[in-house]
Amino acid sequence: MAETGTSPLPPTPLADTALARAERFVWLTARVLEQRLFAYHFRGGDADPVEAALDAYRNEDGGYGHALEPDLRGPVSRPQHIAHALRVLDAVGRCGGQRAERVCRYLTAVSTAQGALPAVLPGQDGFPSAPRAGGPRGDLLVTGPVVGLLHRNGVWHAWLFRATDFCWQAVESLRVTHPDEVEAAVTFLDAVPDRPRARAVADRLGRLVRERRLAVLDPDGPDADPLPRGDAPGGRRLPHDYAPFPGSLARAWFTDQEMARSLDFLAAEQRQDGGWPARRPEWTPAAVLEARPRVTLDALRVLRAYGRPVG
């Protein structure tokens, strides 16, 4: 008979699959939040432990801090942390109710008069952040993902009306853009309630992406960037970065063959240690180490969404 209080037995070893290698990587390197997200997505785990881990990053003002988004260090709340938190809550079906109300109160307090969200708030420049993290001017890059995720979960709030109008104006006026901004626009367009308007804007944006060569259509071709996810304005992304699930409006931008090549590249990017590369400039080692487990979870979810076997 087993003694009470002993440690649980380790899990039965799994086959050598992409999922098994990724799981080992997550347990070796990830924060508690990503460990619990992995358990939720791939091992039948519950949403409560995920939410409990996320709460550790929440501040009294209703925002989130403490490097929830690894590129933003320090304890203070920042709007970009909100986008990260909403992705977590959306993934586990908890993006609503009092949680959403708290978030929207915080967003109301920090947004511009037009409803736009800045990357950095006044008085926060004393805390370290990645050079590409952005500044105090509200923009689509920060606002689009937040608004899109709230719409995706059926949230309505007075601030959201202003912020939605701001995002419409921003996406419809895009003429020169870069991959980060396109991804933010797609997150907004995939969820905003006016679907005909969203499809029309997405069609124009997709043409812009192809004309400006913002997507690597053949990652093994001679014109492919060594780091397709480069953060410079001239950087490019792969098709699956813009369309992480088949139902995204951005999926129509790419042929089946182009998407297949993109997914092949993604599957082959898994490293020997089981994780996927963060593909970002290393401004501090901690940010890259903390980002890789999230990137690994995202890669597995994209592959699974497109029907690719992961184990």
Interval 74-123: pLDDT, tens: 999 999 999 999 999 999 999 998 899 999 999 999 999 999 999 877 76
Mean pLDDT of the chain: 90
CA distances to 20, 103, 137, 254 from 241, rounded to whole Å, are 23, 27, 26, 12
| b/e 19-45 (16+ beta carbons within 10 angstroms → b) | bebbbebbeebbbebbbbbbbbbbeeb
pLDDT per residue as tens digits for the range 216-229: 999 988 767 654 55
**Residue-level pLDDT at 136:** 62
Residue 9 has pLDDT above 60, yes or no: no
Owner of token pair 């593909």: 279
- The pTM for the full model equals 0.91
Q: What is the pLDDT at residue 3?
A: 44
Question: What would the pLDDT profile of 204-255 be if each residue is shown by its tens digit?
Answer: 999 999 999 999 999 988 767 654 554 444 467 999 999 999 999 999 999 9
Percent residues over pLDDT 70 in the chain: 89
Element (H, E) at 261: helix 256-268
